[in-house]
Chain A
Amino acid sequence: MEPIIATEDLRKVYRLGKVDVPALRGVDLVVQEGEFIAVVGPSGCGKSTLLHVLGGLTAPSSGHVLVDGNDFMTMNDADRTRFRRHTIGFVFQRFNLLPTLTARDNIAIAQDIQGNGFNPHHFQAVVELLGIEGKLKHRPYAMSGGEQQRVAIARAVICEPKILLADEPTGNLDTENSQIALNMLRTLNRSFRQTILMITHNPEAAAVADRIIRMRDGRIVSG
């Protein structure tokens, strides 16, 4: 079976002023559909950059990147945006909910951007799965961190993306809420074969994944 993510000698170099900063120095990675992978490593090792490249938020500098059959090296920004809209869901450490919208609207806006319109049945199923029915009218400032992260997960999966990319989803949560968020990711993976790539510093969070990839200095060193 074709892997859903395949990178070969993936490199990403940022330019800071007149200095080139290599963030990824040749990443070879294969992810099968339905896998739950944790990416761990020290700060600055390139974890977030890898996630951004795989999510199409930034272009790779060189190498090969195939995500769901799409070759990122041949895609421009508009192509990657379109791809991201239909294939990728993001969960961030800081939740990144739109502050002026209610939880319901924060979730629904993902459907609006995707362009398929509001699907009330799917919406209901997702909010029930994540246990946020009672919070739909609340704005982010009126919700706890755990509730905000559940809304963020709901927003990420409402359009049924093939890949869920989570950037330290438990980084701003206490132990109890971390466990709830991880359980939900695990449920999504087990029940719906949701492919998940999760960055974490937390060994307990990483342990939830099927496979742990360790990175150092822009390369994968194990996993």
Chain B
Amino acid sequence: MVNKMIAENVLHRPVRSTVSILAVAIEVAMVMLVVGMTSGMLNETARRVEGVGADIMVQPPNASFMLGLSSAPVPVKVGDRLAQVPHVLAVTPVLIQSSLTNGIALIWGIDMASWDRVGGGFVYHAGGPMTGPDDALVDDWYARANHVKVGQTLTLLSHEFRVSGIVEHGKGSRLFIPLSTAQDLAGAHDKASIFFVRCTEPAYTSDTLDAIHHLIPAYQVLSIKEYMSLMTSNNLPALQAFVTALIGVAVTIGFLVIFLSMYTTITERTREIGILKSLGASKTYIIGVVLREAGALCAVGIIVGCVGTVLARRLIEASFPTLAVELTLGWGFRAAILALVGTLIGASYPALRAAQLDPVDALAYE
């Protein structure tokens, strides 16, 4: 009977109910999308590094595991020393540069020959390898997002490049230029930002790692597996704080809308609460009715939010093909719990206020 009454109340005030449902839906969608975009970006970056095909990465001292933040080039000759380490099959140097033309982009300067030995080379969707100093490669996601075609001129680092090929995404970066050109443009001759090392067998990774540590103790040496495990928002305090702040804003919005909605409802229904009290409804009964109504609105809001999130993800990925949004069941569940807790807290004060109404005053309410 109470469920029926709640359903009728929800349907009786469609605008109020819709606004409440939308607030919860936005809260859920915001939490899921913020987390999904953050983890999507990090995981996709990590997968691209894994896609290089190396077992170990070597960076200069004090370099960040966020590769775009590494601006401490070291001599390419370090690569020759690495190549001498037992069980090392191939080493490839990469000079990473940031371009602010058409948004922030990381451009990897690579040496095609050693790159191919480490990772087995690119898969070409169109065109072919870089053959000249002004050639560039883009991955298929970048090409789709920026409508880039083979042969087209691309301005990167204030320099004009000819797109020689479009490659399968998932190998390091989205933009590649020859290492020597990158070094010229950066004024860092014979320098690299990072070395990718391929072992003769993956089983030798640990031994090789130790040997490299011994050889160049000040350098940062990580297995690709370790690097993958570091690529979480927990290891990026600023990003974690940003995500937490956005989640806090989303939960606060949901809380406030539900609070206002239920508070208004209680005021509108003062007389009805008086009727229930005249029939002998206890405070617990009245609180239960209000909280269950808020819970019902929240439940619908969560469903709408989840559906909205999936639709928003499709829209984002269609509009920005280079953005990855990773939605997980775990975060969907957490977003639902956050919404439910926010809703119940938001509805608690109106519920208590309703329970404490004087029945005589409530019955006389106009």
Contacts and interface: CB of A to CB of B under 8 A. Distances in A.
Interface of A: 52, 55, 57-58, 78, 81-82, 84-86, 88, 90, 92, 96-101, 105, 108-114, 118, 155
B5 A101 contact: yes
Interface in B176-228: none
Nearest to B282: A81
Cβ-closest 10 pairs across A and B: A85-B280, A112-B1, A100-B8, A84-B280, A100-B12, A57-B359, A96-B275, A90-B278, A113-B279, A113-B281
Contacts of B272: 98-99
A113 B276 contact: yes
B285 interface: yes
Interface string B241-281: 00000000000000000000000000000011011111111
Highest count of chain B CB atoms <10 Å: which of A112, A113, A114, A155: A113
B280 A114 contact: yes
B315 interface: no
B271 to A, nearest CB: 7
Contacts of A58: 358-360
Given A57-B277, A98-B272, A111-B1, 7 more contacts: A57-B359, A58-B358, A81-B283, A82-B282, A90-B279, A98-B5, A99-B12
Interface string B336-365: 000000000000000000000011100100
A57 B285 CA distance: 16
B17 to A, nearest CB: 12
A110 B279 contact: yes
A52 B360 contact: yes
Contacts of A155: 279
State the main secondary structure of chain B at its contact with A: helix
Given A96-B271, A98-B272, A57 B8 contact: no
A22 B11 CA distance: 43
Interface string B267-309: 0000110111111111101000000000000000000000000
A105 B275 CA distance: 14
B4 A105 contact: yes
Contact of A81 (B8, B280, B360, B363): B280
6 contacts: A57-B360, A82-B280, A85-B279, A97-B275, A109-B279, A155-B279
Given A82-B282, A109-B279, A101 B359 contact: no
A45 B174 CA distance: 87
B4 A81 contact: no
B62 interface: no
B235 interface: no
B2 interface: yes
Given A92-B363, A98-B5, A55 B278 contact: yes
A52 B274 CA distance: 12
A85 B277 CA distance: 9
B281 A78 contact: no
A92 B365 CA distance: 14
A85 B4 CA distance: 21
Contacts of B283: 78, 81
Contacts of A85: 279-282
Contacts of A99: 12, 272
B155 interface: no
B64 interface: no
Contacts of B359: 57-58
